[in-house]
Amino acid sequence: MSQTLFEKIIAREISADIVYEDNLVLAFRDINPQAPTHVLVIPKKPIPRISEAEESDQEVLGHLLLKARLVAKELGLAKNGFRLVINNGYDGGESVPHLHCHILGGRALSWPPG
Ligand code: AMP
């Protein structure tokens, strides 16, 4: 199967502004930021989307959320708050078929989303 865009970022075949990496996840700045701080946290395992995650992915999914929390804190978002978003499938607005958690912060975000 061909690699997803985000697998190519993990492999350093496509450059990205990486802000965190460990053995399970990678975090990098979104190329089209929707807030002053907009970072994507992705599992290195190519899970296409949250609806296709499996019970055996419990560790990586928990790790991903904890590292999203860490990255948000390190980028100075903890005091004023931030939003984590996972778009799933067509109606969810997903455009890259590799699970990713958006961290959005640095401005007040409206609700509900469009
Ligand atoms: P989604 O619409 O939830 O699938 O989010 C995909 C995100 O990936 C969008 O916010 C894009 O701006 C972002 N994106 C696409 N290509 C790149 C890239 N090469 N580097 C960083 N972010 C990207």
Identify whether the C-beta of residue 105 lies closer than 8 Å to the C-beta of residue 95.
Answer: no
Phi-psi region of 81 (alpha: psi -120 to 50; beta: other; left: phi over 0): left
> Within 10 A of 94 (CB to CB), how many other CB atoms are there?
18
| Mean pLDDT, residues 48-64 | 98
For position 2, what pLDDT does the model report? 85
Q: For ligand 1, is residue 96 a contact (CB within 6 Å)?
A: yes
- How sure is the predictor about 1, in pLDDT bands with cuts at 50, 70 and 90? low
To the query of whether residue 102 is one of the catalytic residues in this protein, the response is no
| Mean pLDDT, residues 51-55 | 98
| Mean pLDDT, residues 26-54 | 98
Q: For ligand 1, is residue 31 a contact (CB within 6 Å)?
A: yes
- The CATH H-level (homologous superfamily) assignment of domain 5-105 is HIT-like (3.30.428.10)
For position 15, what pLDDT does the model report? 98
Q: Which two tokens stand for residue 82?
A: 């931030």
pTM: 0.97
For position 13, what pLDDT does the model report? 98
| Ligand 1 binding pocket mutation candidate from 10, 17, 40 (most atoms within 8 A of CB) | 40
What percentage of residues in the chain have a pLDDT greater than 90?
97
Distance CA 22, CA 104 (A): 21
**DSSP at 93:** T
**Residue nearest (by alpha carbon) to ligand 1 atom 16:** 31
Condensed to tens digits (0 to 9), the pLDDT of residues 66-89 reads 999 999 999 999 999 999 999 999
Q: Does pLDDT of 38 surpass 70? A: yes
- DSSP H/E element including 83: strand 82-85
For position 53, what pLDDT does the model report? 98
**DSSP at 36:** S
- Where along the chain do its domains lie? 5-105
